[in-house]
């Protein structure tokens, strides 16, 4: 049976990680995968996580199963974090959450849930979108279509095109929208564009699926969720897939959540039963560790304060480097305008350079970025930014 298989190309993002690790060049720079790194180029465990883990070690007295929806304390916290403590949908009991193995797990659960609710649904994703979105939804048997989003020449939103295309989406279809820190472009919707999106969702009757993998990495925890909160106050149904990989630095613990917003609390109960049956048929129950750590942080005002501080440090460092890239490029005599990088948010931006230049940066200078020219800005630090700017200037000549 195995002899029938054809080899599959390595994932464009995770493949880069392996190539980088094998590169012996001491000057190599990893701008590939979306993982936060500090000034030392290290992805450290957050202090608030270390403290919560110590608490857990002392307190944990059982390894019994936690149930299909996962950790209830985490689920309550994550709903409040995403929607805010007083959101009408939360107060009306219209939300229901299952904690999942990472944001990817949340998306897969959402995809299977959509298939149960409407097997004929098409899911619409932005052009471009996260490299894994399309294959993930297709693997679940959904039809995927794309809508215009990023204008590679102006570096702005293709707003009129986007809304014209979404005006043809059928009721019962699903439209994926990135809550903040759009992956891969860093270009987010303004609040006015969220309002326009909300009005269209109501008018057309499609279901929004909000992917929120970077809450707190853009402008702030509340600011990054403002579009989601506005949308959720207006539409009857919505799916939210969130992740604690980046904002809690819990990447390998695989902790995320799939939250459903239903029309009323009774409908939320029914939706929950389907959600849990989806979970049972895929992985039965999620792993507990990450959820318990996040829950312990959010249970404690001291640890929450520390987390806010550490999250702000990560966000500010990335934003400082957004400006530094532009300044260093100028200092290297690059004439092209890279000012758009400072107007974008989160881990990523496209440099907007061509394939030959990307290949040259990797082969001659050991600088690794995704083939779309997406760079993960957190890979830069004071020891490598000059080398990076010089190398880019060389390939742009």
- Catalytic pick among 28, 51, 130, 328: 130
Query: What is the nearest approach in angstroms of ligand LMR to the Cβ of residue 245?
Result: 7
The one among 34, 70, 287, 379 contacting ligand LMR by CB under 6 A = 34
- Catalytic pick among 30, 188, 211, 224: 211
Q: Is the peptide bond before 128 cis (omega within 30 degrees of 0)?
A: yes
Q: Is 307 a catalytic residue?
A: no
C-beta closer to ligand LMR: residue 228 or 375 = 375
Q: Is 13 in the site for ligand LMR (CB under 6 A)?
A: yes
The one among 75, 129, 183, 373 contacting ligand LMR by CB under 6 A = 183
CB 279 within 8 A of CB 254: no
SS3 state of residue 209: strand
Q: Is 246 a catalytic residue?
A: yes
Q: Which residue is nearest to ligand LMR (CB)?
A: 34
The one among 74, 83, 124, 130 contacting ligand LMR by CB under 6 A = 130
Scored b (16 or more CB within 10 A) or e, 184-206 reads bbbbbbeeebbebbbebbeebeb
C-beta closer to ligand LMR: residue 240 or 261 = 240
CA dist 294 and 52 (Å) reads 8
Query: What is the nearest approach in angstroms of ligand LMR to the Cβ of residue 347?
Result: 7
Number of H helices, E strands in the chain: 16, 11
C-beta closer to ligand LMR: residue 155 or 254 = 254
C-beta closer to ligand LMR: residue 78 or 181 = 181
Kindly report the backbone phi and psi dihedral angles of residue 99, in degrees, each rounded to the nearest multiple of 5, phi listed first.
-80, 145
CA dist 97 and 286 (Å) reads 13
Q: How many residues bind ligand LMR (CB under 6 A)?
A: 6
CB 321 within 8 A of CB 388: no
CB 348 within 8 A of CB 377: yes
Query: What is the nearest approach in angstroms of ligand LMR to the Cβ of residue 34?
Result: 3
Binding site for ligand LMR (CB under 6 A): 13, 33-34, 130, 132, 183
Which residues are identified as catalytic? 130, 211, 246
């Amino acid at each position: 049976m195995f002899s029938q298989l054809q080899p599959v190309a390595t994932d464009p993002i995770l493949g880069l990680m392996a190539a980088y690790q094998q590169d012996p060049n001491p000057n190599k720079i990893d701008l590939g995968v979306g993982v936060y790194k500090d000034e030392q180029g290290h992805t450290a465990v957050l202090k608030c996580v270390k403290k919560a883990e110590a608490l857990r070690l002392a307190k944990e007295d059982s390894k019994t199963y936690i149930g299909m929806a996962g950790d209830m304390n985490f689920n309550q916290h994550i709903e409040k974090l995403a929607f805010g403590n007083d959101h009408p949908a939360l107060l009306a009991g219209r939300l229901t959450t299952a904690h999942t193995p990472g944001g990817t797990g949340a998306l897969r659960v959402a995809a299977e849930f959509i298939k149960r609710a409407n097997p004929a649904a098409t899911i619409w994703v932005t052009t471009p979108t996260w490299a894994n979105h399309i294959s993930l939804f297709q693997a679940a048997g959904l039809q995927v279509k794309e809508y215009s989003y990023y204008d590679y020449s102006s570096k702005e939103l293709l707003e009129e095109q986007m809304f014209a295309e979404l005006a043809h989406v059928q009721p019962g279809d699903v439209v994926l929208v990135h809550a903040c820190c759009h992956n891969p472009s860093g270009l987010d919707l303004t609040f006015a564009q969220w309002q326009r999106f909300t009005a269209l969702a109501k008018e057309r009757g499609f279901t929004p699926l909000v992917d929120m993998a970077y809450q707190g990495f853009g402008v702030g925890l509340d600011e990054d969720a403002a579009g989601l909160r506005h949308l959720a106050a207006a539409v009857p149904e919505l799916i939210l897939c969130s992740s604690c990989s980046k904002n809690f630095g819990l990447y390998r613990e695989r902790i995320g959540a799939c939250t459903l917003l239903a029309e009323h609390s009774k409908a939320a109960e029914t939706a929950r039963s389907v959600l849990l049956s989806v979970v049972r048929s895929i992985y039965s129950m999620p792993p507990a560790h990450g959820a318990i750590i996040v829950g312990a942080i959010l249970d404690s005002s001291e640890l929450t304060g520390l987390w806010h501080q550490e999250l702000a440090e990560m966000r500010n460092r990335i934003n400082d480097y957004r400006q530094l890239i532009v300044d260093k490029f100028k200092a290297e005599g690059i004439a092209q305008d890279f000012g758009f990088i400072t107007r974008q948010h989160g881990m990523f931006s496209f440099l907007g350079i061509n394939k030959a230049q990307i290949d040259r940066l990797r082969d001659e200078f050991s600088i690794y970025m995704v083939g779309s020219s997406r760079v993960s800005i957190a890979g830069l630090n004071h020891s490598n930014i000059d080398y990076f700017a010089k190398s880019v200037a060389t390939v742009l000549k």
